[in-house]
Each structure stands twice: as C-alpha cells, then as structure tokens.
Amino acid sequence: MWFPSQKAKDHLNDIFNLPATGNEQDWEVELSDPGRLLAFIEYYQRADHADDVRCALMALILSSFEDSKWADKFDIQLWKDVVELIKSDYENQKPVLMQWLGKGDDVFRITQLIEKIINEGSESQANQWGRNQWL
C-alpha cells in the first residue's frame, strides 16, 4: 500500500498553502480541492520533482477529481491532461493509481477511469500507448 512521504506532504503544503494540521489520516483526501486542479496540474507539469513529490501531487490531483465527480464538476479536458501525465510516469504512479481501485461496495467515482488506465498501461507498456481508450 502506498502512502505519501512526510517530506512530500510538507513540500506541497508549503507550495500550495494547504490547510494541513499534521493530523490528517488521509492527507490527499482531506486536502483535495477540485477548484485548484488546474494549479495542481500546472505545478506537476512545469517542475522537475522528486518521485515522492510527483506521487503525492498525483494523489492530491486524483482525490480532487474524485471530489469533482461528486460535485458534478468533472472537467474532461483536465482529466485528459492528467492521463497524459500518468502515461509519461506510469511505473512511478501505478502504486498511487492502485489506491483508487475499490472492491465491492467500496468503489470510488473515478475507479472505472483508473481501471482503464491500469488495464491499458499493463497491456501497452511494451508497446506504444493507445489512443481513445482513456475515457
């Protein structure tokens, strides 16, 4: 099971001025913010981050997409942008993706989208990534 490192959480808390108290059980869930998705994505895209920071940021991004699904404010273009980021760093992001694979009644709104990424990634890692199978 993957967990964000404290160093990565501290870095992102500082960069985004997140209202973290240090007592969060599920940091990425408690601090997700669909209204800041674009800022999270742009920061991911523009800087060369350590693996732990990229994974913690992706966890925050995915949790924010989960919240956006619940609020009926899911932005398909932003999702496509994130899929491209995941594809470019699939092996590092796979443990983060696995967190969103619910079982039985414990399913998230983004589970099916994540399953498609994982299924395609597993099948296509040795080949070129396919198109139009991410939605």
**Tell me: the pLDDT tens digits for 75-86?**
999 999 999 999
pTM (predicted TM-score)? 0.89
| pLDDT per position as a tens digit, 28-48 | 999 999 999 999 999 999 878
Residue 84 lies in domain: 6-124
Is 86 among the domain residues?
yes
| 132 within a domain of the structure (yes/no) | no
> Is residue 133 situated within a structural domain?
no
For residues 33 and 29, what is the distance between their CA atoms, to the nearest angstrom? 9
pLDDT tens-digit profile of 73-130?
A: 999 999 999 999 999 999 999 999 999 987 777 789 999 999 999 998 776 554 554 5
Contact, 16 vs 32, CB < 8 A? no
Q: Note whether 107 and 65 are within 8 A (CB).
A: no
Question: How many domains does the chain divide into?
Answer: 1
* DSSP per position, 19-55: ---S--SSHHHHT--GGGHHHHHHHHHHS---HHHHH
Q: Is 70 within the bounds of a domain?
A: yes
